[in-house]
A = this chain, B = another copy of it.
Amino acid sequence: MGLVVAKFGGSSVADAASIRRVAKRVVDTKKAGNDVVVVVSAMGDTTDELLDLAHQVSANPPGREMDMLLTSGERISMALLAMAINDLGMEARSYTGSQAGLITDSSHGKARIVDVTPDRIQQAISENAIPIIAGFQGVARETKDITTLGRGGSDLTAVAIACALQADVCEIYTDVDGIFSADPRIAPKARQVPRITYDEMMELAAAGAKVLHLRCVEYAKRFNLPIHVRSSFSEKEGTFVIADLADQSQLVKLSKQGAVMEQPIIAGVAHDLGDAKITVVGVPDRPGMAAAIFQAIADSGVNMDMIVQNVSASGATATDLSFTVPRADAAKAELQLRKIQADLQFKDVETDENIAKVSLVGAGMRSHPGVSATFFKAIAAAGVNVEMISTSEIRISVVIRAEDAKTCVEAVHSAFGLDADGEAVVYGGTGR
């Protein structure tokens, strides 16, 4: 029928029994008439165990050697999966990132893909074998050293290979049924979303949703490659990530459900408990102060997210500046600010780690006024105090107290009629 690239994460290949189960699934896909290319992550806790060993022998392991070490994890899982498939009577051959043609720059630990030359993979497909490719890894064009792609690297490998092979779909197998309208662990009424756009998925990923990483969605968007996020524990269809819900023509042969006619305004609610809020207090109200502060943070390699400058009280000579950073980087950012405190003459720096970010994402926001009003009304009705606000074309985010995260997500989820069982609240006449 077509060419399917299927990626299985660490929890799907955690032990011998899981590997045999995945092998069965791959063989079934092949027997259904598809060409199949598999991408695997390292088994379960392998990466953590290797990291632990590295820190036992070195206080500061070089990136090149860390990449050499960590890439052994996929080597193990891919060889075992190839064996298990061969044991079921089909030929499978494993390939390292380098052998599969994943060419990267030489930024160890966070390499960027610069080219994909899957000649050996195409050769294997043409010989009716199932290629098993190590996720997360490549080889540097200049140095010929082994590299890793960083967080979400195996998903990125799968998408990059699928694009290079012009596959019909990239299936990302995980331990949940697909993309949910909120994190089911804090919003039990969250339901699985059958389709979502690249843009929505990218906003959700950036806003803290964990299932797919931003980089792999960006990559798929560039090549208009459908991603199918689904469970390795069931046969159910999961979530298709595509360009435009109004044009689902790509899905005709991929999805048994066919096109979904109703288009939701809201894709989902994401939350992120991994940030900290830093407030620079008493910044003199002079031009260039904010620029100097942001430059200092940038120089320390820390990414800022939401930024709010309090309106100066009339006649005041100083203002407060707040922004969020990854919690792990908060100390580094504060230290950097302390260094320039005397120069810039601001009063103090306050770090607040007890925050949550809640975001509402939906392509429908573009054309449906009133989404913001409903959003803030729901939060207010739940008694949750909003500390910071930021928006994009298809997203509204607020910073609130961490302990309010669950209340806030559930309130917003209900207000937009996303709850699985509850009555759908019709919004603007076109809701669900």
Contact = CB atoms under 8 A, between A and B. Distances in A.
Interface in A76-111: 76, 78-84, 86-87, 92-94, 99
Given A58-B86, A61-B83, A87-B60, A94 B68 contact: yes
Contacts of A64: 93-94
Interface string A50-69: 10011011111110111011
A66 B80 CA distance: 8
A217 interface: no
A57 B72 CA distance: 18
Interface in A7-57: 16, 19-20, 23, 50, 53-54, 56-57
A332 interface: no
A327 interface: no
A82 B60 contact: no
A61 B86 contact: yes
A231 interface: no
Contacts of A79: 54, 65-66, 68-69, 72
Contact of A99 (B60, B84, B144): B144
A359 interface: no
A251 B122 CA distance: 54
Contacts of A80: 53-54, 57, 65, 69
Contacts of A61: 83, 86-87
A245 to B, nearest CB: 41
Contacts of A92: 65
A71 interface: yes
A76 B120 CA distance: 26
A57 B93 contact: no
A229 to B, nearest CB: 26
Contacts of A81: 57
Contacts of A65: 79-80, 82-83, 86, 92-94
A99 B98 CA distance: 12
A58 to B, nearest CB: 4
A58 B83 contact: yes
Contact of A75 (B23, B69, B84): B69
A45 to B, nearest CB: 14
Given A53-B16, A144-B99, A68 B78 contact: yes
A260 to B, nearest CB: 39
A72 B73 CA distance: 8
Interface of A: 16, 19-20, 23, 50, 53-54, 56-62, 64-66, 68-69, 71-73, 75-76, 78-84, 86-87, 92-94, 99, 120, 144
